[in-house]
Amino acid sequence: MRELTWRGIVIGALITVVFTASNIYLGLRIGLTVATSIPAAVISMAVLRILGGGTILENNLVQTQASAAGTLACVFASLPALVMAGVWQHFPFIQTAVLTAAGGMTGVLFTIPLRRVMLDDPALPFPEGVAAAEILRAGASHENRGSVRALVQGGILAAVLTFTSTGLRLLGDGITATATLGMTAFRLSVGFSPALLGAGYLVGLEGGMAMLLGALLTWEVSIPVMSHLLPHPAGMDAGSFAAQIWKDKARFIGAGLIGVAAIWTVLRMGRPLMLSARALLVRRATGTHVPRTETDLSPRAIRAVAGIVLVLIGSMFLAFSTGRVGPLPALAATVAGVAWCAGLGLFVAAACGYMAGLVGSSSSPISGVVILAAIGMSSLFVLLRATGLFAGVDGQHFAIAFCLYALTAVTASAAIANDNLQDLKTGRLVGATPWKQEAALLIGCISGAIVIPPVLNVLYQTYGFVGAMPHAGMDASQALAAPQPALILMITSGIFLRQLDWTMLLIGAGAGGVLIGIDAALRRAGRGALPPLAVGIGIYLPMNISMTLAVGAILGHIVTRLNAGASSHRGTMIASGLIVGESLMGVALACLSALSGRDSPLSLLPPGTSALLVNLAGLAAFGALCVWFCATQLRSSHR
């Protein structure tokens, strides 16, 4: 059957533009991305059906390439930190694209040895991989029209609401209620984002409620307590003081909690990974014939790609270092960076692949692994400074910048490893050839990396990032939050400058230990779970984001209960449409603003309009969207 074709590669590259741009926008806005395998599978089926002659295996290869490229957008977690630190004023195409592509390819290579054993592990359900396989099978039997319709409906509604609120400014994008008691402020805040609603649905009830718990503990407990203990700045109202405490203190607790939760997850899966590696060695030693559906890239091809990738990574590190420090420190930084990426790569691939198999790519804590990598790399360069390398203030600034740049390769590797095994699971279920999927994943890394720099530049020049605005006079309220880059910069620079708030981090680490114990007890008792990582994310993200995600999770749970066991596939497609629709409209508005040189060139809001009136209109529109979201799924389940 037709499988890896030139037209499939072109279609996958075109879909790449859509999902890469969507995930970068979503990640810089709220710090989360969504797995793109399922929407990519639906779109590829629709396109290939129009062209004619498509097969289930060709569909699978298209979605494999497109989903890999969309996942590579996770480098939004590290690259903007270079701009926020003042190292870059824009995102250079070559330095950004080449390192991103090479880092992603290491994720593909590292997961190849893990494929057979992890896909055979009954403890790993690979939920999104199985779902994508079901969609491909449905498409092969001409049963996917409803899926495409659901995706398009959700996308159109989200795009219209985003255009009306962000573009025309006729609807508010959130509402906040603040109650003060002396110098203490209690806050509740909800956003009106269709993408967040869809993301909350996909995250699920346990993750959504855990994030809600983190937000409530932060704003209703931790911040009020700290507002009594910390000196109050003169002339600052209680609400502004609370916001400053969250920015400078409380979110450090979330960072410590995320780090501990990620370490625990990796340690917990250590034994299964050792058994998997042992089983893989035994299979190789037998030398038995391997059927087509179990054939990986040849060892010669793997060695060739690995050699090229390491040379590219080293070249980018050396190019970044040259001119910033002397020849010897530049060479030392390059060697240390390549060794760190190569040595850490297999650990990152194993950790992310295993976690994606357990909970799915969307819920896998890539950010926690990246945080650990940032701490480890920064600590390594602090030790190198102790030997006399990178001495002085200039050397210190270079070390911080280099760590941020090198983290791009680690982040790309983690993201692709997180997605790769999910796609290979889909391929196994539909009878695909693994080496062709692995080739498509490598192609996806290249096509995605080409898209990433221009999208980052457009978003930065249009909106800016919190704390880093490219032009004077820009509306800071419209700046992208970029939570992960801000956190990575905070941790990396804090370690070098010895300004990291270890007290808050240690409190977060202690809270993480307690939550790990509670989560384990709940799982043993069969009473659900309380994911510690999700609680940490709820602490770190702004409250309006966590609250809206929780709304989506709760609505999804209600619909599932009312549907009494009916398939949730339509809800998944609608939720994916909401995310894609808002994200793409956001990118389109960003392009329009960049061309016009104005923040809101389409704004129709009359001067002097009450902000409360606009926010109430936004609340009504968001409420109507929630009602439609639930009613549509309930109607389809009773047909």
pLDDT digits (tens, 9 = 90+) for 506-551: 898 899 899 989 888 888 887 777 878 778 878 877 888 888 888 9
What is the distance between the alpha carbons of residues 134 and 326, in angstroms, rounded to a whole number? Answer: 56
Which residue type does 347 have?
F
* CB burial string 383-394: b at 16+ within 10 A, e below: ebbeeebbeeee
Interhelix angle 366-386/327-359, rounded to 10 degrees, is 160
Assign 174 to helix, strand or coil. Answer: strand
| pLDDT, mean of residues 445-461 | 88
∠ Cα 162 166 170 (to 5°): 95
- What is the CA 634 to chain-centroid distance, rounded? 30
380 with 407: CB under 8 angstroms? Answer: no
The contacts of residue 282 (CB under 8 Å, 6+ apart) are none
- What is the CA 537 to chain-centroid distance, rounded? 12
What is the distance between the alpha carbons of residues 568 and 293, in angstroms, rounded to a whole number? Answer: 30
Strand partners of residue 179: 186
Distances (CA, A) of 9 to 48, 144, 153, 303: 12, 22, 27, 24
User: Quick one: pLDDT band at residue 117, thresholds 50, 70, 90?
Assistant: low
Which pLDDT does position 278 carry in this prediction?
59
Strand partners of residue 189: 176
User: Quick one: pLDDT band at residue 318, thresholds 50, 70, 90?
Assistant: very high
605 with 534: CB under 8 angstroms? Answer: no
Assign 433 to helix, strand or coil. Answer: coil
User: Quick one: pLDDT band at residue 567, thresholds 50, 70, 90?
Assistant: low
Residue that wins the pLDDT comparison between 83 and 166: 83
What is the distance between the alpha carbons of residues 238 and 179, in angstroms, rounded to a whole number? Answer: 9
Which pLDDT does position 317 carry in this prediction?
93
What is the distance between the alpha carbons of residues 551 and 64, in angstroms, rounded to a whole number? Answer: 31
462 with 594: CB under 8 angstroms? Answer: yes
Q: Which secondary-structure segment (H or E) carries 252?
A: helix 251-268
Whether the predicted pLDDT of 80 surpasses 60: yes
Which pLDDT does position 437 carry in this prediction?
87
Beta strands in 357-512 (DSSP E): none
| pLDDT, mean of residues 300-308 | 88
433 with 56: CB under 8 angstroms? Answer: no
Q: pLDDT for 136-159, tens place per residue?
A: 776 666 555 666 678 788 889 998
Report residue 516 as tokens.
């790990």
Structure-token match 């495409």, residue found? 148
Which pLDDT does position 626 carry in this prediction?
92
Assign 89 to helix, strand or coil. Answer: coil
- Return contacts of 262-265, CB within 8 angstroms, 24+ apart: 262/365, 262/368, 262/369, 262/371, 262/372, 262/533, 263/372, 264/512, 264/516, 264/532, 265/351, 265/355, 265/365, 265/368, 265/533
| pLDDT, mean of residues 441-457 | 89
56 with 140: CB under 8 angstroms? Answer: yes
Which pLDDT does position 368 carry in this prediction?
64
Which pLDDT does position 160 carry in this prediction?
92
What is the distance between the alpha carbons of residues 539 and 483, in angstroms, rounded to a whole number? Answer: 12
Length of the chain: 639
Q: Would you list the DSSP string of 41-82?
A: HHHHHHHHHHHS---HHHHHHHHHHHHHHHHHGGGGGTHHHH
What is the distance between the alpha carbons of residues 198 and 552, in angstroms, rounded to a whole number? Answer: 6
Whether the predicted pLDDT of 96 surpasses 70: yes
pTM above 0.85, yes or no: no
What is the distance between the alpha carbons of residues 99 and 76, in angstroms, rounded to a whole number? Answer: 13
Which residue type does 532 have?
P
The contacts of residue 408 (CB under 8 Å, 6+ apart) are 75, 78, 79, 96, 99, 100, 103
551 with 200: CB under 8 angstroms? Answer: yes
| pLDDT, mean of residues 473-488 | 77
Distances (CA, A) of 157 to 21, 147, 152, 221, 626: 19, 16, 9, 37, 11
Report residue 536 as tokens.
């940490």
What is the distance between the alpha carbons of residues 587 and 463, in angstroms, rounded to a whole number? Answer: 10
Q: Which of 446-450, 453-457, 461-465, 576-580 has the lowest mean pLDDT?
A: 576-580
Structure-token match 């398009």, residue found? 152
| pLDDT, mean of residues 359-367 | 58
Mark out the alpha helices in 473-610 (DSSP H runs).
Answer: 483-497, 502-525, 532-540, 543-562, 569-596
Whether the predicted pLDDT of 622 surpasses 90: yes
Nearest C-alpha neighbor of 180 from the set 213, 151, 219, 148: 219
Backbone angles phi and psi of 387, in degrees to 5: -85, -5
Whether the predicted pLDDT of 4 surpasses 60: yes
The contacts of residue 446 (CB under 8 Å, 6+ apart) are 101
192 with 172: CB under 8 angstroms? Answer: yes
Nearest C-alpha neighbor of 27 from the set 601, 501, 474, 537: 537
Report residue 40 as tokens.
């990519």
Backbone angles phi and psi of 605, in degrees to 5: -70, 120
Backbone angles phi and psi of 525, in degrees to 5: -80, -5
| pLDDT, mean of residues 76-101 | 90
pLDDT over 90, % of the chain? 9
Which pLDDT does position 293 carry in this prediction?
76
- What is the CA 219 to chain-centroid distance, rounded? 24
Which pLDDT does position 471 carry in this prediction?
77
What is the distance between the alpha carbons of residues 370 and 248, in angstroms, rounded to a whole number? Answer: 21
